[in-house]
């Protein structure tokens, strides 16, 4: 099984990121910077494609790598991850044990746990896919490409709407009938050494963007999604008023 890591990063001046991340498979690096350059080389016996483009937007960056990917299985990565020494074997085993899975979600190690830890194998559907971000996802490339699934380039860091590209990607997988499974295996650790390019906390723009994200995910249920979010995160949003006011902000209403 050929495995490729698709890395989204910015402002890299050399290739040192690959060793820093402990990349032990083929990889494609999407490096958004101030130059345009494509490099192909071999590192420790693995084929590397290094894409340096003078453009912005995490969805565009991931798509640049995804459209050039040629492996059986691809992992999406951010540049603040360090992969486990046995990550390739872990991923290959997971797909071998779940031959009907098109997408598999793994665990990431954190010094301070902020992400949901997968403790048992779980089927991922419309009621729980919002729990998982792109950096813990591996895809069966043929399934994703056959269904024409790519990242929405209007959402995520460097775009008009500051977050949500990963949610839209998994939502698209579900709408196309792909099977998503979460497994209790760790593939990488987060160093948490870089600041987010978009996150200013739960400010008013985040709240409004959250509403637009929900509307993009479901034209039928978006207002219900906004309501549950405003209530569930009411303590995080409390600087902007009670959950009713936050709900109105998500729905695009002035107050």
Distance of CA 83 to the CA centre of its chain: 16
Residues contacting residue 45 through CB under 8 Å, at least 6 positions apart: none
For the chain, domains (ranges, CATH) are 3-190 (3.90.550.10), 204-250 (no CATH)
pLDDT by residue (tens digit) across 66-79? 999 999 999 999 99
Q: How many residues can be counted in the chain?
A: 255
Contact call for residues 77 and 5 (beta carbons, < 8 A): yes
Q: What is the pLDDT along the chain (255 residues), one digit of tens a residue?
A: 999 999 999 999 999 999 999 999 999 999 999 999 999 999 999 999 999 999 999 999 999 999 999 999 999 999 999 999 999 999 999 999 999 999 999 999 999 888 999 999 999 999 999 999 999 999 999 999 999 999 999 999 888 998 899 999 999 999 999 999 999 999 999 997 655 544 557 889 999 999 999 999 999 999 999 999 999 988 888 888 898 999 999 998 755
| Geometric angle at alpha carbon 64, from 72 and 99, rounded to 5° | 20
Contact call for residues 216 and 168 (beta carbons, < 8 A): yes
Cα–Cα distance for residue pair 223/242, rounded to 1 Å: 17
Nearest to 202 by CA among 229, 183, 224: 229
pLDDT at 16: 97
Cα–Cα distance for residue pair 128/130, rounded to 1 Å: 6
Contact call for residues 155 and 163 (beta carbons, < 8 A): yes
Cα–Cα distance for residue pair 223/227, rounded to 1 Å: 6
């Amino acid at each position: 099984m050929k495995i490729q890591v698709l890395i989204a990063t910015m402002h890299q001046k050399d290739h040192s990121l690959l060793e820093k991340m402990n990349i032990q498979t083929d990889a494609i690096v999407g490096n958004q910077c101030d130059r345009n350059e494509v490099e192909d080389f071999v590192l420790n016996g693995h084929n590397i494609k290094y894409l340096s483009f003078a453009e912005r937007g995490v969805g565009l960056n991931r798509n640049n790598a995804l459209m050039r990917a040629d492996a059986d299985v691809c992992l999406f990565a951010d540049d603040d991850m360090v992969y486990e020494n046995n990550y390739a074997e872990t991923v290959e085993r997971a797909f071998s044990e779940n031959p009907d899975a098109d997408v598999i979600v793994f665990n990431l190690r954190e010094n301070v746990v902020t992400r949901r830890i997968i403790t048992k194998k779980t089927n991922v559907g419309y009621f729980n896919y919002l729990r998982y971000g792109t950096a813990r996802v591996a895809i069966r490339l043929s399934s994703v490409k056959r269904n024409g699934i790519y990242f929405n380039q209007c959402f995520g860091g460097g775009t008009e709407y500051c977050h949500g590209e990963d949610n839209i990607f998994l939502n698209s997988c579900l709408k196309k009938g792909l099977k998503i499974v979460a497994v209790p295996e760790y593939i990488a650790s987060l160093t948490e050494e870089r600041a987010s390019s978009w996150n200013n906390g739960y400010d008013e723009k985040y709240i409004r963007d959250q509403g637009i994200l929900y509307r993009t995910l479901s034209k039928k249920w978006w207002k219900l999604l906004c309501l549950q979010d405003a209530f569930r995160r009411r303590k995080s949003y409390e600087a902007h008023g009670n959950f009713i006011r936050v709900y109105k902000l998500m729905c695009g209403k002035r107050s």
